Amino acid sequence: VQLVESGGGLVQAGGSLRPSCAASGRTFSSLAMGWFRQVLGKEREAVAAISGNTGRTYYADSVRGRFTISRDKGKDTVYLQMNSLRPEDTALYYCAASIRPWLTSREREYDYWGQGTQVTVSS
């Protein structure tokens, strides 16, 4: 599976971004998908995830109510709608895919990773 992220960028606090992740190489609809983020010097953390079978979603406490993960199976693409952005959301955001169809936020359960897209929120 190849994953290509796009849609990061620089935005002021309170603004919005919608990174996307295009997948290829495997039946997309069966994959669980996740978004993770990492700040230099810190561990990578799960931000949001969506299952491949039921469409259930997971959100980290820090983003719940502000971020929304969704997928378009016709386009083999997953999105992360990010609203009310804060400076502490600044990070490199990674898209990931798991061959397990169920919902998971565990990094070790993801098999494929994109190259990352930078999100910077200015105060």
Which tens digit of pLDDT belongs to each residue from 17-51? Answer: 999 999 988 778 889 999 999 999 999 999 999 99
C-alpha–C-alpha distance, residues 80 and 18, integer Å: 5
C-alpha–C-alpha distance, residues 108 and 60, integer Å: 17
For residue 114, name the pLDDT band (cuts at 50, 70, 90): very high
Task: Look at residue 53 in the predicted model and tell me its pLDDT.
Answer: 86
Structure tokens at 115: 């190259």
Cα dihedral sign, 114-36-18-55: positive
C-alpha–C-alpha distance, residues 100 and 53, integer Å: 9
C-alpha–C-alpha distance, residues 54 and 101, integer Å: 8
* Pair 94, 38: CB distance under 8 Å: yes
The H or E element that residue 117 is part of is: strand 117-122
Which tens digit of pLDDT belongs to each residue from 55-72? Answer: 999 999 999 999 999 999
Which tens digit of pLDDT belongs to each residue from 69-96? Answer: 999 988 899 999 999 999 999 999 999 9
